[in-house]
Amino acid sequence: MDWLRRHYLPAWWRRIIILLFLTATVATIPVSLSAAQILLTIAVVGGAVAYPVLRFPSWLPLPRFYWPLLGFIVWSVVSALCSDAPLLSLFHLKKLLLFFLIPMLLMVLDRPAQARTFLVILLTAMTLSAGVGLIQYATVADPLHRIHGLMSHHMTFSGQLMLALTALVPLLLTDLRARRTSWPLLLAAGGLLAAALVLTLTRGCWIGFGFGATAALLLTRPRWLLAAPVVLAVVLLAAPGLVRERVRHLLDPAEAGNAARLDMMRTGLRIVADRPLVGVGPRMIDQSIYRYGADPHIRPDFYQHLHNNIIQIAAERGLPALAFWLWLMAQILADHWRRFRKLRADPENDGILWPVLAIAVTVALLVGGLFEYNFGDSEVLLMFCTFTGLAYLPILRPGTDHERATA
């Protein structure tokens, strides 16, 4: 009971119902987008209705990243209103409601000690999804089958795996340093997540995880990076031939996936040159590409977006929206870099987990987003919002027992 009180239950008991819906939301992100959206909606509506009586903690001043996020949302609405199909574009903006997950976490979780519990819940659910993906690989005879876990598409699954595995790295390093007994379980979970990520055959997510993990190690155990070439060599030797084939064509511009992405980049830049302020509007890329010289031999369903966060946002919503988005990412990195510099003087401080995790996950999203529009993938976005909200909790609730709490 003492563990529940310190690590999970809110200080004000009437918030427990909303906490349970938030817990269910986070637990279902790797399982079902529809379920996660419904549960989050219930939590948001419940919190809004009961706000006057639930004694939500004050968290002013607002996190600095709220301002670029607000700017991104407002300019997205402007872009939608200026598109050729305003109603379609505005309807597509319902995805922006997923950002409500961050303030809900920051309001309902009133002690940073709760953040680790939510992190473990999300990573446990993601590990189960990875296990399903490995079963798919073992039971499907087609060698070109792309495993998708509990998701409907392999790209969504690989994006989630990338973020989850990146977040697991600083958690594992923290547990190793603190000599916690949970690190063998975390290591086993990491093995499952890594195996599933490799077998998705999604190279952009491999690269995104590599950069995210490198960021985490540079901040905590830089000498361990010396072993990276050996680890990569072992993985390549142990991997199936199709994985090695994907690596071999990584920089081949003639390979089908690479050629399509290069064509998308050129098409997106032509859109930006023609409509730099508001773009073509949310959900209008696939309606416009062939007017801007896209290769007609590329399937239209592959052109639903431009497979690159920066080019997609600029072409879809305009350069001001891109500026707000880049400001958002930079603000998250800057906030947690400041937090990291403050905490690194005390090597025994467990609170260093959160700035390292936030920086690593953001780096993974940015680098992986050079090859896929992962910021527009609702399941990946929900996971990123969860990690971001949990990482900001110790900044907004300093001076509690979390930073020296044991698991």
pTM, rounded to two decimals: 0.94
> What is the pLDDT confidence band of residue 402, given thresholds at 50, 70 and 90?
very low
What average pLDDT does this structure show over 5-34?
90
> What does the pLDDT read at residue 50?
84
- Rounded-to-integer distance, Cα 36 and Cα 378, Å: 10
Residue 37 scores a pLDDT above 70: yes
Compute the distance between CA of residue 386 and CA of residue 99 in angstroms, rounded to an integer: 9
pLDDT tens digits for 100-111?
999 999 989 888
Whether residue 400 is predicted with pLDDT greater than 80 in this model: the reply is: no
Q: Are 370 and 309 in contact (CB under 8 A)?
A: yes
Task: Please tell me what DSSP assigns to residue 186.
Answer: H
**More confidently predicted of 54 and 122:** 122
User: DSSP alpha helices (H): ranges in 140-182?
Assistant: 154-178
Instruction: Please state whether 195 falls in left (phi above 0), alpha (psi between -120 and 50) or beta.
Output: alpha
Interval 346-350 mean pLDDT: 67
Which alpha helices (H) appear in 29-93, and where do they start and end? 33-50, 66-81, 86-92
Backbone φ and ψ of 249, nearest 5°: -100, 15
* Angle, helix 353-368 to helix 154-178, in steps of 10 degrees: 160
The pLDDT of residue 78:
97
Q: Which amino acid is at 123?
A: L
Which helix or strand (DSSP H or E) is residue 216 part of? Answer: helix 203-220
Comparing 57-66, 84-93, 324-333, the range with the smallest average pLDDT is 57-66
Per-residue confidence band for 405, with pLDDT thresholds at 50, 70 and 90: very low
Q: Which amino acid is at 103?
A: P
Q: 167, 116, 11, 165: which is closest to 390 by C-alpha? A: 116
- Give, to the nearest 10 degrees, the angle between helix 353-368 and helix 203-220: 150
The end-to-end CA distance of the chain, in Å, is: 14
Query: What's the angle, vertex CA 8, arms to CA 127 and CA 158, rounded to 5?
Result: 20
pLDDT > 90: percent of the chain: 67
Sequence-distant (6+) residues with CB within 8 A of 234 are none
Digit-coded pLDDT (tens) for 275-299: 999 999 999 998 888 899 888 887 7
